[in-house]
Structure 1
Amino acid sequence: MADPIIGPKRLTKVLMNGGSGLSIMYAKKLDKMGVDRTCLCPTRAPFHGIMPGKQAMPLGQINLPIAFGDQFDYRTETLSFKVVGFLKTFHSILGHPCYAKFMAVPNYTYLKLKISGPRGVITLGTSFQRAYECEVECCGHAAAIVASRELAAHKKEVTKEVPNAKKLVGSFESAKGSKEDLVDPRSTKGKTVCIGTTLSSK
């Protein structure tokens, strides 16, 4: 059984990330598991690494039992999860605390994870096809987020550049540091021209 069971539910999309210093549970999945959000313990400690260049503030923290194995040989431990409210393609991220608690040994070449169980070594794994599908889904999700942010930024820039509808098309506004002079100084009602006041006397 490659997929862990957290609480009463089996998670089919779990990212095992030994480089992460914490384990993360997404609020949407927590709701589907039937866990009331009032069970969350408040926390004010933000963390980094999920959204590049930005800090994330969790909704709270919760301790949940997690089991690896099958009905003949399994092991259960309680892990502490940071619960976050933003969207992601995974159900949960199991970080370094999970590796340490289960004394898990990963092999990234074969996509295997070995855990010491009560009746021997529990071997977990997945297929390369499934790993590829998850990677494609994550890339598509990330691209959609980037595209939506770029679109929002583009709309903001376009809004700033929208011309004032009250101004006449083709109307001209003189720049700062300019003055109007008569084309013909002998005429008081003749045509005028704008000349920059910052120009040299030459």
Structure 2
Amino acid sequence: MVLDSTFSIERRACRFSRVMIDGGSNINILYRDTMEKLGIKKKQLQPSWTVFHGIVPGLSCSPIGKIKIDVLFGDKTHFRREPIWFEVVDLDNPYHVLLGRPALAKFMAVPHYAYLKMKIPGPKGIITIVGEYKKSVMCAAASSRLAESLVIAEEKRLLDRVVAMASKQPDMPSDPKETEPEGSFQPAKETKEITLHLAHPEKYAVMGANLDRK
């Protein structure tokens, strides 16, 4: 679900049209490009130790910091405003912002993904925010292509590392005898059979022919 929303910081407010509503995410995400559009500097971010998965399949991501921003839904005649904490990530993405469960809980929002509508209680009653199917489909397709390209790039990086490690391994000798360490046991080339018991000549031992009889 992709909706419109206004984001406000000190001395600046911007309305973004590609705000993804994701009730399956346990964090709210602000992308670096959006942060720069809001005029937020990296030095204004607070440290974050969050590590999360799911934006890029199979890969983990660590934010560059976190920040609290006021989020507004509605219009100038009827709106609701709440301060929301965001994890800021340095990733390309077709969305401006991702609002997860923490934001939905803060607004007490009820999203309906089939109808692309979200309802939240406001000071004058229920506020209904309506999304667009065409915009949602376009963003989803762009996000899928981007995730696929990132996975391919990661797989290539891992393959290059494996090839580099393999190139550092010593070449295997063509003659297996060359791999035998010095001083290893080698059977004598000249041997003789020694009968163990005269009554049983079929039982014998093999020993070197040049060994002393003692």
Q: TM-score, normalised by structure 1?
A: 0.74
Equivalent-residue separation in structure 1 for 2:84 and 2:33 (angstroms): 18
Query: Is 2:56–2:150's contact at 8 Å kept on the other side of the alignment?
Result: no
The one of 10, 15, 21 equivalent to 2:20 is 15
Give yes or no for contact 2:26–2:100 (8 Å, CA) kept in 1: yes
What's the offset of the Cα at 1:106? 1.0
Q: Percent identity?
A: 34
Equivalent residue for 1:6?
Answer: 7
Matched, 1:174 2:137: no
Partner in structure 1 of residue 85 of structure 2: 80
The 1:160/1:40 distance shift into structure 2, 3 A limit, reads closer
SS in 1 for 2:71: strand
User: What is the rounded CA distance, in whole Å, between the counterparts of 1:71 and 1:157 in structure 2?
Assistant: 58
1:17-166 aligned at under 5 Å gives the runs 17-156=22-161
Cα distance in 1, alignment partners of residues 137 and 45 from structure 2:
33
Aligned length: 173
Q: What amino acid does structure 1 have at the position aligned with 2:6?
A: I
Change (3 A) 1:161 1:46: closer
Distance, in Å, in 1 between the alignment partners of 2:88 and 2:94 is 15
Give secondary structure in 2 for the equivalent of 1:11. Answer: strand
What aligned pairs does 1:177-192 form with structure 2 within 5 A after superposition? 177=177
Displacement of 1:47: 3.0
Alignment match, 1:168: none
Aligned-residue CA RMSD in angstroms? 2.7
Q: Deviations over 1:37-56 (max 9, x none)?
A: 21111122333333444432
Distance in 1, Cα, partners of 2:93 & 2:40: 19
CA separation of 1:175 and 1:67: change in aligned 2, threshold 3 A: farther
- Could you tell me how far 1:63 is from its partner in structure 2? 0.5
Greater Cα shift, 56-65 or 39-48: 39-48
Which AA in structure 1 matches 2:130?
G
- Which runs of 5 or more residues in structure 1 are unaligned? 163-172, 180-196, 198-202
Separation (CA, whole Å) in 2 of partners of 1:117 and 1:11: 20
Shift of residue 68, structure 1, vs aligned partner: 0.3
Aligned mates of 1:22, 1:157 — CA distance in 2: 34
Distance 1:55 1:64, change over 3 A: same
Evaluate the alpha carbon distance shift between residue 140 and residue 52 of structure 1 in structure 2; reply closer, same or farther with a 3 A threshold: closer
CA distance in 1, matches of 2:99, 2:27: 7
Change (3 A) 1:175 1:3: farther
Which deviates the most, 121-130 or 40-49?
A: 40-49
- TM-score norm. by structure 2 comes to 0.71
Equivalent-residue separation in structure 2 for 1:55 and 1:151 (angstroms): 17
**Equivalent position amino acid for 2:72 in 1:** A
2: distance between equivalents of 1:52 and 1:146? Answer: 7
